Amino acid sequence: MKISYHGHSVVKIETNGTNIYIDPFINGNGQTDLVADDTKADIILLTHGHNDHVGDTVEIAKRNDALVVAPFELATYLGWQGVNTHPMHIGGAHEFGFGTVKYTLAFHGSSYTEEENQKIVYTGMPGGILFTAEGKTIYHAGDTALFSDMKLIGEMNDIDVAFLPIGDNFTMGPDDALKAAEWTGAKKVVPIHYNTFPVIEQDPKAFTDKVKPGEGLLLNAGDEINI
C-alpha cells in the first residue's frame, strides 16, 4: 500500500489498483501539490462537510465516475448534485472491494457553506476514518478535538499510520495531538491540517520531534511512503 500527503488534510491511498483520496481540498489550498483538473480518483472518502474538506469532490467524482463515501447527510447532499455516493455513519463499517472503511467519532462541526447564497447546509456529524486494506490500518482523524475515546480506538485497532490535525484554533493543537498520538498507539504519526491559513500556522517538525522516537513522520506535500 502506498500513502501520500498533499497538504492540509488531503491524503491519497493506492491499494489493490485503486486510487483513494481523503478530503480532496485542492483549489484554494496553497499547501497542495495537486491540480484538481488532473486528479484521477476511483474513491473519495470524506470526514465531514466543511468546504476545506469536501473541496473539489463533486468535480473530481463526476469526471472520474468515482464513488464518494461520506456520512449520511453529506452523502445525501452530494447525491443531489449528481455524485455517486455510499452513505455511512459513526461507528459503522463497510467492506468494499478496495478495503474496509469504518467511521469513528470526531468532535467538531460539519456543514457546507454556500457563500453565494449566504447559506450554511447541515451535513451531519463529523467523523474520523479507519481504513484497512492489505493487512494495514490507517487512521485519519479528520478535524477533531482531543477526546478520551482515542484510547479505545487505539486499543481496538492496530494502527499503522495516524493522520492527526495539529493546527489548533479549529482542531486540537500540537500538545493535544501529542496525547492523541500516545493514545492511538500508531506506529507512525503524520501531522495534518496546519499552515493552510494564518490562524492554523504551526511548526510540524517541532511536533514530530516530540512524538515518541521513531513514530513522528513529517510528510511534505507530494511525499509518499509504502507500508
Q: What is the pLDDT of residue 68?
A: 98
The pLDDT confidence band at residue 125, using thresholds 50, 70 and 90, is: very high
Mean pLDDT of 90-111: 98
Q: State how far the Cα of 61 lies from the Cα of 153, in Å rounded to an integer.
A: 30
Q: Would you say 81 and 54 are in contact if contact means Cβ atoms under 8 Å apart?
A: no
Q: Residue 161 is placed in which grid cell? A: 499510520
Q: Would you say 78 and 70 are in contact if contact means Cβ atoms under 8 Å apart?
A: yes
Give the pLDDT confidence of 47-63 residue by residue, as tens digits: 999 999 999 999 999 99
Give the pLDDT confidence of 30-43 residue by residue, as tens digits: 999 999 999 999 99
Q: State how far the Cα of 86 lies from the Cα of 72, in Å rounded to an integer.
A: 8
Domains and CATH numbers, the chain: 2-218 (3.60.15.10)
Q: What is the pLDDT of residue 202?
A: 98
Q: What is the pLDDT of residue 110?
A: 98
Q: What is the pLDDT of residue 143?
A: 98
Give the pLDDT confidence of 170-219 residue by residue, as tens digits: 999 999 999 999 999 999 999 999 999 999 999 999 999 999 999 999 99
The pTM for the full model equals 0.98
- How buried is residue 127: exposed, middle or buried, by Cβ count under 10 Å (0-12/13-18/19+)? buried
Give the pLDDT confidence of 130-174 residue by residue, as tens digits: 999 999 999 999 999 999 999 999 999 999 999 999 999 999 999
